[in-house]
Every structure is written in structure tokens, then in C-alpha cells.
Amino acid sequence: MITPWQDRSGRFYPFKAVVFAGLLLPGVWTAIAFGLGGLGALRLNAAIHLLGIWALRFLFLSLLITPAKEILHWARLVQVRRMVGVAAFAYALAHLLFYVAEQSFDVATVADEIFFRGFLTVGLAALLGLALLAATSTDKMMKKLGGRRWRRLHRLVYAIAVVATLHYLQQLMLGEREPIVMLGLLYWLLLYRLLGVTLAQGPLGLFSVVLMSIAAAVLTALTEASLISVASGVAFGRVLVLNFSLELGIRPAWIVALPGIILACAGIAPRYQALTGMKTPSASAVRPLSRRP
């Protein structure tokens, strides 16, 4: 059994320990704020929202591990992927438990609501999917299923991410930023994978990552404008041009473009070092695998 702070060979792996602590942090913060009255007038409600949003963030983070590994040439990053995915499930489960608590543990009402309210049905579907992946995430299950079948099963995570984002978007208030940002990041994650298996037939180059990030941002802007214009009847173009003003703050599309571009810039360093054959300490930190026998 490997603890959350050990690497595969059983040695203490500080990076993994930090990620583990980071995964616990939002939960601990929520629990403390809940207990001390920091969550406002409807603390159950606030906790539901916080746990749900962190579940989605961690789910996306688990999907970002492979692209980040490829862009940063950081193979050991994969060692935290399972932990991040299981954390997403844990937060989603807590999200549901707090909903049940908010309904005063009235299971009949909960079942009724999940059946009749579309967005709750969708949310439960995502949670069940995550439960399946969490249950099959152990080494034992991996061996039992066999690598090929296991990988195929765990590709389900992309569908789950789509369903979970839909669950979030179904409660969108027009003009609200974060749900649209999450949708845009989902575009980015899906595009990266899609292009990787089609056009690039392997990891994308840095320039492609930048272009793809811009494409994801444009797609986000178009989706946002469509949603608002369909829901309210205002002109599509009028919402779209908002992206070029600060009238209503920084628009989601810009936030969506950012992480991919930053990641691509960070990816220059390991490539440059590989090219020049430099072995600086930072290079070994970026590619620890190459150091190991």
C-alpha cells in the first residue's frame, strides 16, 4: 500500500504530499467555515455549492495531468493523477451528502427531487460514473480488469466531465462567469485529447497548444453569446463584443485562454534544456525520471 506521500518505490515524494494536502484543503476549509458560521445564512446550501465546485475543479485537474505531463515533459506527474480523481469523487459524494442533509435527511424527498428535476438527475449520473471509476481505481482492480479494459473503462471520465459540467450549467444565472469558464476549460481538455488522437497522432507541440487554447477561448465566447442571446433575445453580436471591453469585467473566454498558454510557455524550458543538453538542477526537477536508474 502506497501512502499519498510516497512514490511507487515507497520513498517520500514531497510533491505528492503537497498535492495531497492541497486536495484536502478546500474540504478542511469548508468544514471549519461551516462550524464557525463563516458560510452565511444558509450554510448547508453554501457547503453544497462549495463542495460541488471543488469536485468539478478536481475532476478537471485530473484530466489536465496527462496534457501537463506531455507539455512540461514531467513524467512523474502521473503519480498524482489517481489521487486527484479520487478526490473529485470524494467531493462529489460530500456534495450529495450535504444535499441530503439540507433536505433534513428526508430520503423520499431527495429521491423524488432527483427523479423530477433534470439537473439533479444529471448530477447523480455524474456521481455514479465517478463512483465506478473510484471503485476501479485500485492496483488490484487495475490488474483484475487488465490494462486495456481498464483504460477503456476509465475513458468514461471524459463523458463524466461533460455530464458534470452540464449539471453546473443547468443552474447558470445569465452573466455568471464561473460556469462558462468551466465549460471553456472542458473544451480545452476535450480538444487536447481529440487533436492528440487525430491530427497530431501523439502529444501536441507547444505552438499547437497555444493555437488550441485560442480556439477553446473563441468557442467559449461563441457559446456564451449564444446562451445569453437565446435566453434573453438580445443580439448575439452585442454579447460577443463584450469580450473586447472591460464594461462587465474580464469575460470567461480570456480566462479560458490563459492556462493553456501559460502551460505552453512553461513547456519551453524543458525543451530548450533537452536541446542544449544542459543539466541544471531545474532541468532535473522537471524531468526527474531521466535521473533515475
Partner 1 sequence: MFVGRRPGWRLPDNDATPEAVFWSRREALALTASAGFSALARPQRSQAALPEYPPHTSRFGLSQPLTAEKYATSYNNYYEFDSGRARAPQAGSFKTKPWRVVIDGLVEEAQSFDLDDFLGKVPLEERLYRHRCVEGWAMAVPWIGFPLKVLVNLARPLGSAKYLRLESFMDPETAPGQKQFWYPWPYVEALTIAEADNELSFLVTGAYGKALLAQNGAPLRLATPWKYGFKSIKSIVRLSLTEERPITFWERQQPQEYGFWANVNPDVPHPRWSQAWERLLGTDERRPTKIWNGYGDYVASIYATLDKEPLFK
Provide the binding-site residues for partner 1, judged by CB under 8 A: 40-45, 49, 101-104, 106, 109, 112-113, 116-119, 170-171, 173-176, 228-229, 231-232, 234, 238-239, 247-248
Closer CB to partner 1, residue 43 or residue 81?
Answer: 43
Q: Are 27 and 94 in contact (CB under 8 A)?
A: yes
Q: Which residues of 78-105 are buried (b: 16+ CB within 10 A; e: fewer)?
A: ebbbbbbbbbbbbbbbbbbebbeebbee
Closer CB to partner 1, residue 114 or residue 261?
Answer: 114
CB of 251 to partner 1, least distance (A): 12
First to last CA, the chain: 23
Q: Are 174 and 228 in contact (CB under 8 A)?
A: yes
CB of 163 to partner 1, least distance (A): 17
What are the φ/ψ torsions at residue 12 (nearest 5 degrees)?
A: -60, 130
Closest CA to 180 of 121, 249, 238, 128: 249
CB of 176 to partner 1, least distance (A): 5
CB of 221 to partner 1, least distance (A): 15
How far is the CA of 250 from the CAs of 48, 244, 254, in angstroms? 27, 9, 7
DSSP 188-243: HHHHHHHHHHTTSSSSPPHHHHHHHHHHHHHHHHHHHHHHHHHHH---HHHHHGGG
- 286: number of Cβ within 10 Å: 20
Closer CB to partner 1, residue 139 or residue 176?
Answer: 176
The dihedral over CA atoms of 198, 264, 156, 99, expressed in degrees to the nearest 10, equals -150
CB of 234 to partner 1, least distance (A): 5
CB of 26 to partner 1, least distance (A): 17
Closer CB to partner 1, residue 43 or residue 73?
Answer: 43
Closer CB to partner 1, residue 1 or residue 108?
Answer: 108
CB of 122 to partner 1, least distance (A): 12
What are the φ/ψ torsions at residue 106 (nearest 5 degrees)?
A: -85, 90
Closer CB to partner 1, residue 12 or residue 115?
Answer: 115
Closer CB to partner 1, residue 10 or residue 118?
Answer: 118
Residue type, position 153, single letter: L
